[in-house]
Amino acid sequence: MSTDLLRVGNCSGFYGDRLSAMREMLEGGRLDVLTGDWLAELTMLILGRDRAKDPSTGYAKTFLVQLRECLGLALDRGVTIVANAGGVNTPGLVTAVRELAADQGLSPAVAHVRGDDLTPRAAELGLGAPLGAHAYLGGFGIARAVASGADVVVTGRVTDASVIVGPAIAHFGWGRADLDALAGATAAGHVIECGTQATGGNFSFFTEIEDLVRPGFPVAEILADGSSTITKHPGTGGAVTVETVTSQLLYEVQDARYAGPDVTTRLDSVSLRQEGTDRVHISGVRGEAPPPDVKVSLTSLGGHRNEMTFVLTGLDIEAKAALVRRQLEAALPSRPAELEWTLARTDREDPTTQQQGSALLTVTARDEDPKVVGRAFSGAVVQIALGSVPGFHTTTPPTSGSPYGVFTPGYVDQGEPVHEVVIDDGTVEVIAPPRTTRALEPLTGEAPSEAPSSHPGERSGPGATVRAPLGTIAGARSGDKGGSANIGVWVRHEAGPEGHAWLLDLLTVARVRELLPETADLPITITSLPNLRAVNIVIEGLLGEGVAYNARFDPQAKGLAEWLRSRLVDIPTSLLPAQGTGPKESR
């Protein structure tokens, strides 16, 4: 292993990612460490419910599927595997890994990190009585596990970037005071932890990527000062460009301070440079002391829900929707605690197919009592069928209600989780919390003007404009932050600093509410990130009580950015790329 460079790859961005990725990464090129992220907020709820049914489960079983095929290969190549696949039962995963290895005649050193599970102490810590309470631990426990010589390190709930930061701490010997290095590694970790989203997946300008059928998984080449180069194995699909990296840097962030248990990373300090084909260098990242508290993932069962969708075809769509609503609400034997109606006008004038002439009316019911949203609810839909609107039909037959989960963030003092590392021989070491902390304060940068104008947002000076989709010159990436959503928007390279100034002027709170009408009554925060020529928009409460709550058509807000990009705005012609001009390679 080189002492001046650490090559860290990723083979999983979520529970359910490409099963062949571990083998592809081990065989595709040189690596020192192979990491994976299996834990999202919804995944923690799923795994918690699994363990409630069977105490021996509660970890990501797909990790074992991959390891069964690849453990011997990783040992042969000297690659350390670091995974947060332990979910809510890390010791159970350790047992399963050792049994798997023994079946193959292998004897890897397996270490694990524990202390994230605060569920038994939730009430005393003021966290209520959730199904699960898991603290987001940092990378220093992982670092100690790697330094012990472990071949496989598994954890439960740690921050997504920690599986990358931990090995870098071990390799370079960083301490708690090396904040800039820790922040640089955190930036690299944030880029690669979501797998192929760094190599062209979910990328606004995907049509410009030549081969996206099977994008390669990313690699971070981390240096001793925390700077890094993001790349991928030769010959794999996708692409690594300044813009694919920008897109992932903006994913699921709050403002310019990206807080973690080890360091607060200043996203406004990140500098990106294209070094060559599929190589983007990240430098200049500054770090601040972490906050005095640590975030806790609180998952609970929120109740039961059911949903039915009516297909309304042809004329008088609004009147048909109103009649169906009146009829169903009158037919319900018990009114659910929550009853939401959504009409999607997917129909068009003079349709050439029946589907083009149809709109979708969806009703969602939620209640603590499963009977209220079960057959009593969906059966009422069937009862009105022959006496309702012409062409009445639904997309599904009547169904029973199902439980839904709720995610809420909690916070406890950094010293509350007992952060421990269990070495392969059973030795337990305690990881002390950071001694120096800094209260987290929002940092949004330059505030956009809210001054009125005939065309809000298009105030960057006189000149010709063209009415076109925002996405003509801007890319975007969106995602969920508990019950809130974020949209990171950046202008294309050709637009230059002037493009960022225009974007910041365009996307005021008032203008966002105009472009995305469902945000009209919700709190919105906008952050300027000039180094990335980007702005970040956080919309509070858009997702209700979290992704499992299904508060909207797109419950994880994955398509929210593309909706924003499709909205028409007045774009100065001076910002439009010259015909035939491709993106520049640096900024």
Question: What would the pLDDT profile of 495-509 be if each residue is shown by its tens digit?
Answer: 889 999 999 999 999
Residues 96 and 240 in one domain: yes
Residues 367 and 488 in one domain: no
- Buried b / exposed e along 249-284 (16+ C-beta atoms within 10 A): bbbbbbbbbbbbbbbbbbbbbbebebeeebbbbbbb
Phi, psi of 359 (to 5 degrees): -115, 160
Task: Indicate the pLDDT class of residue 452, thresholds 50, 70 and 90.
Answer: very low
- Number of structural domains found in the chain: 3
In this prediction, what percent of the chain has a pLDDT beyond 90?
84
Length of the chain: 587
Q: Residue range 257-274: average pLDDT? A: 98
Residues 59 and 125 in one domain: yes
Residues 380 and 252 in one domain: no
State the residue range of the domain holding 472. 465-575
Question: What would the pLDDT profile of 306-324 be if each residue is shown by its tens digit?
Answer: 999 999 999 999 999 999 9
Question: What would the pLDDT profile of 275-295 be if each residue is shown by its tens digit?
Answer: 999 999 999 999 999 999 999
Residue 88, in any domain of the structure: yes
Residues 398 and 271 in one domain: no
Question: What would the pLDDT profile of 381-429 be if each residue is shown by its tens digit?
Answer: 999 999 999 999 999 998 888 888 888 899 999 999 999 999 999 999 9
Task: Indicate the pLDDT class of residue 587, thresholds 50, 70 and 90.
Answer: very low
Residues 262 and 334 in one domain: no
**CB atoms inside a 10 Å sphere around CB 34:** 27
* Contact in structure between 474 and 564 (CB atoms under 8 Å): no
In this prediction, what percent of the chain has a pLDDT beyond 70?
95
Residue 438, in any domain of the structure: no
Residues 357 and 284 in one domain: no
Residue 65, in any domain of the structure: yes
Task: Indicate the pLDDT class of residue 448, thresholds 50, 70 and 90.
Answer: low
- H-type alpha helices, 312-412: 317-331, 375-383
Residue 22, in any domain of the structure: yes
Residues 254 and 360 in one domain: no
Structure-token match 């509350």, residue found? 416
Residues 52 and 197 in one domain: yes
- H-type alpha helices, 78-217: 90-103, 140-147, 162-172, 179-192
Residues 117 and 160 in one domain: yes
**CB atoms inside a 10 Å sphere around CB 565:** 19
Question: Tell me, what's the pLDDT at 436?
Answer: 98
pTM over 0.75: yes
Question: What would the pLDDT profile of 220-263 be if each residue is shown by its tens digit?
Answer: 999 999 999 999 999 999 999 999 999 999 999 999 999 999 99
Question: Tell me, what's the pLDDT at 447?
Answer: 60
* Contact in structure between 409 and 159 (CB atoms under 8 Å): no
Task: Indicate the pLDDT class of residue 541, thresholds 50, 70 and 90.
Answer: very high
Q: What CATH number did the domain enclosing 337 receive?
A: 3.30.70
Gap between the Cα atoms of 217 and 227, Å rounded: 20
Residue 443, in any domain of the structure: no
Residues 514 and 531 in one domain: yes
Give the CA-trace dihedral at 515, 516, 518, 523, to 10 degrees. -100
Q: Residue range 425-437: average pLDDT? A: 97
Q: Which residues contact 307 (CB under 8 A, 6 or more apart)?
A: 362, 363, 364, 365, 550
Residue 445, in any domain of the structure: no
Residue 435, in any domain of the structure: no
Residues 318 and 222 in one domain: no
Task: Indicate the pLDDT class of residue 584, thresholds 50, 70 and 90.
Answer: very low
Residue 448, in any domain of the structure: no
